[in-house]
Structure 1
Amino acid sequence: MNRDVARRIIALVATERKNSPNGLTRQDFITTIAYKRKLMDPDMIEKFIQESIKESLLIEKEMKIFPNFSTSGIIVPLDFQINPDQLFAENTDKPIVDRMLDAISASGKMTKKEAISRSREIMEYMKLINFEVALMAVMSEEGIDIRNFLKEYTVQYNKE
């Protein structure tokens, strides 16, 4: 799943529902995404919710759904459109560094430029690590999940 697009969709629903402290319902997603914004068919929304829960973007508690990130920092363009094929496609065709930077910016905790500069600061003090490891350190410090990137990096590193 394209996490950046998914975060934007979740931010749309949360903003539309005024960040309800009682959480969101599945009907809130259907109403906002399918009928008000006409971004996706109602049939696809259940799949989107399930994939988002699996990706830890959403949390479900007592029939209510909560975003697992701050939606206030997410900027959604007015002409935002969704391609379901791209939304549910795996993002493995991009290099690992690009996908890590996308994950950082999608989290809303920092921009790509801030992440790059912090990674370079780490590399100045630790001469033996490369940029990918420094970037994962920044992600870990910010509380961004690095498990998938770490697995992929270790597989890639062991091949070399």
Structure 2
Amino acid sequence: MTEFFIQEKQLSSVTRTIVKDSKGVPLYLMVGHWGRKGNVLSLYAMDGQIVAYIKQASVILGRKFEIYQDHTKVGVLHKIFHWPGDFYYIQQLHWAVYGDIYNHQYKINHFNQPVMTMDKATLLTGDYYALDVTDPADAPVCICVAAVMDYWLYNRNKRREKETALEITFSQN
């Protein structure tokens, strides 16, 4: 397994995100933004070559994200259900993504074979997401999937904050 580390709360934000190895060496740079159909988040190797990207394909009737590796579409990630745990699927790769999205603890499996696990890690330099990827060739796509999971989590939290603020406003009137 190969480990990758991403600074917590930087994965799907509008800022640049650096993906490092276990020694702290930068391996990838992720840039772009989300929110509207057609928006793209791109993953570059440190030599400047694009290795993968995610394109937001749909915002109505369930968000879908197209995943590309080496400029070839490898799959579409979409949510299947989220009770009692989150479950997502990439049909073209036969990858199931499941786990506890709220705590950034989830797995990707290809049938019963592990592809990636994600958890939180605290290092001397801060809090990180730790991705353990079975095959390093899958790392760019796994990092893209992790970015989508992060996006869904923080978008879900923003919606909850708005709903709570509305409830408080109505209850005060």
Task: Report the TM range for the smaller structure's normalisation.
Answer: under 0.3
More strand, by proportion: 2
Look at both structures and tell me which one has the larger radius of gyration over its CA atoms: 1
- Structure with the bigger RCO (C-alpha within 8 Å, sep 6+) is 1
Normalising to structure 1: TM-score of the pair? 0.28
More helix, by proportion: 1
Normalising to structure 2: TM-score of the pair? 0.26
